[in-house]
Amino acid sequence: MRVQVFGAGAIGCLLGYMIQKAGYDVTFIARGKQLEALKKGLRITGLIEDFVPVDVRNKACKADVTFVTVKSYDTAIAAKELEGKTEIVCTVQNGIGNEDVLAERIGNVVGGVTSYAANVVDYGKICYAGEGETFLGDWKGKGAEIVAEILKKAGINVEVVSDVKRKKWEKAVVNAVINPLTALLRIENGKILEIEEVWVIAKEIAREGQRLMEAMGYKFDAVGMVKEVILKTAKNKSSMLQDVERRRRTEIEAITGEIVRIAKRLNIPTPVNELMLRLVRGLECSMLSY
């Protein structure tokens, strides 16, 4: 079975590495400096120390299963490039709406949520920072069981669930707390709990997300889940903080932006989430203008 990883960032490289080590034929799709670095091989540090040669290309190729791990703002580009080239696509991305974008062009779409942690150290080098859980579910067509079997053989903790949309929203609400605060304040996840003034704001962001999820029919202890995730990932840098440190565009629109937009349609106030959205937008403008 041929597996493709479209987007060779931290999570894409980690998944691709583990799947390749399980014996699958894996191709990585990358661009720019990452493409050139991976041509020399992929180095893993952290929980695993290894260096492996990898098959890396700059354009999508034919594959049985493709994992999409690009930033949410590049999902439409990925969908267009993958059309007609893959039997099953599994998105393992932050934010809301990626599955629907992929489903416009691809027949079998699997939604995925993971709490595995990885950080980019340098081009061609990542740090495997923490083991986690992965949840999969069929979004359009079929494929979740096939993808789950691949991940299980790779030693990845995975479960197929009947309502992956709920899992996507739970993660989005948690990310809407952790990502903007860590990016704006330049702090590791654990500092959100340690600094009382920050934790007060975090709880308000979480409660707004909880009210939105309850309006969609989901019971959810948002503050409890945020606290649990922070404790498990205290020393981690969020993906948004990593983006800011590398002066890159963030995924704020697909996370907080979607929460705010959908809440407005449902007449649910989200003033603190709106503030986070505007602050990160402002940070992006100031950061990307230099």
| Strands 63-68 vs 86-92: parallel, antiparallel or unpaired | parallel
State how far the Cα of 109 lies from the Cα of 99, in Å rounded to an integer: 7
How remote is the C-alpha of 118 from its chain's centroid?
A: 11
Cβ contacts of residue 206 below 8 Å, gap of 6+? 173, 174, 177, 222, 223, 225, 226
Query: Do the beta carbons of residue 39 and residue 27 sit within 8 Å?
Result: no
Catalytic residue positions? 171
Nearest to 30 by CA among 152, 120, 108, 132: 120
